[in-house]
Homo-oligomer: A and B are copies of this chain.
Amino acid sequence: MKILISNDDGIDSRGIYALAQELKKIGDILVVAPRTEQSAVGHAITMKIPVRVTEYFHNSDFFGYAVDGTPADCIKMGIKNILKTLPDIVVSGINNGANSAINIIYSGTVSAAREAAIMDVPSIAVSIASHDPNDYSFAAKIAAKTVITILKNKVKTGTLLNVNIPNIPESEIKGIKFTSQGKTKWDDVYEERIDPYGKKYFWLTGKLTNEDLNVNSDHAAVLKNYVSISPIHFDLTDYEMLEKMKEWDTKELL
């Protein structure tokens, strides 16, 4: 089994290292990841400037390829120019911080998995609900088991599994929940500051709002100590609205 691994925290992050160590027990791995952190980069791709790729080593051991680009770039580059064939699966992570509810939209981790889904390759995104987790080993084990499950159950092409794991000891995990994307979102605030030259600048902060506490949604499931697994696709059409639009008078639009 050929497993392509990427992330958005960068190739030197602890999460991708733990993931690679676990996944090489079940398959033949290739790591292609951003050289630098690419959090909140969404599904950006690099088109206006060139992309560079170099080998990356842990001490003197080859670990993978570092790409000057986004998570989506890494998947394109890994499949088209390094592997030159489709892998059996793409795994993105392990991300520091949950990628649930509205954060799925902003997530680079999810976008790497989505880029694989666009190429009809099965894929999963794996995140742990802490920005500074003590331990990635449970999350890495869940990732490996999800890889086996997704291949056995044949998830349909174009759909990825988005896995979010609570940052608690394994013994406190209540189980697995298959969830939908929750409605929790951010109420943004820009902090206004003054630079050393007297000029204003702004820094994005915010707090969660519209907390969706339905345990069948991703954000709430993790809060309630479940591993959350959501099927995510990239057909963004609102079919319910499309049906309603049939009643609109198109003459008003021309």
Q: Give residues in A with beta carbon < 8 Å to B.
A: 37, 39-48, 50-53, 72-73, 76-77, 80-81, 102, 104-106, 111, 114, 118, 142, 145-146, 148-149, 153, 155-156, 159, 173, 175-176, 178-181, 185, 188-190, 192-193, 199-204, 227, 229-242, 245-246, 248, 250, 252-254
Contacts and interface: CB of A to CB of B under 8 A. Distances in A.
A247 to B, nearest CB: 8
Contacts of A53: 200, 202
Contacts of A179: 242
Interface of A is mostly: mixed
Given A188-B80, A204-B51, A232-B236, A155 B104 contact: no
A139 to B, nearest CB: 12
Given A80-B190, A236-B181, A254-B175, A105 B156 contact: no
A98 to B, nearest CB: 15
A105 B114 CA distance: 9
Q: How many copies does the complex hold?
A: 2
28 contacts: A37-B48, A40-B45, A40-B48, A42-B42, A47-B204, A51-B203, A52-B199, A76-B204, A81-B202, A105-B114, A149-B252, A153-B245, A153-B248, A155-B241, A156-B238, A159-B241, A175-B250, A175-B254, A178-B242, A178-B245, A180-B239, A180-B242, A229-B253, A231-B237, A231-B238, A231-B242, A233-B238, A233-B241
B40 A181 contact: no
Contact of A201 (B51, B72, B192): B51
Nearest to A210: B120
Nearest to A67: B202
Given A76-B188, A155-B241, A253-B146, A43 B42 contact: yes
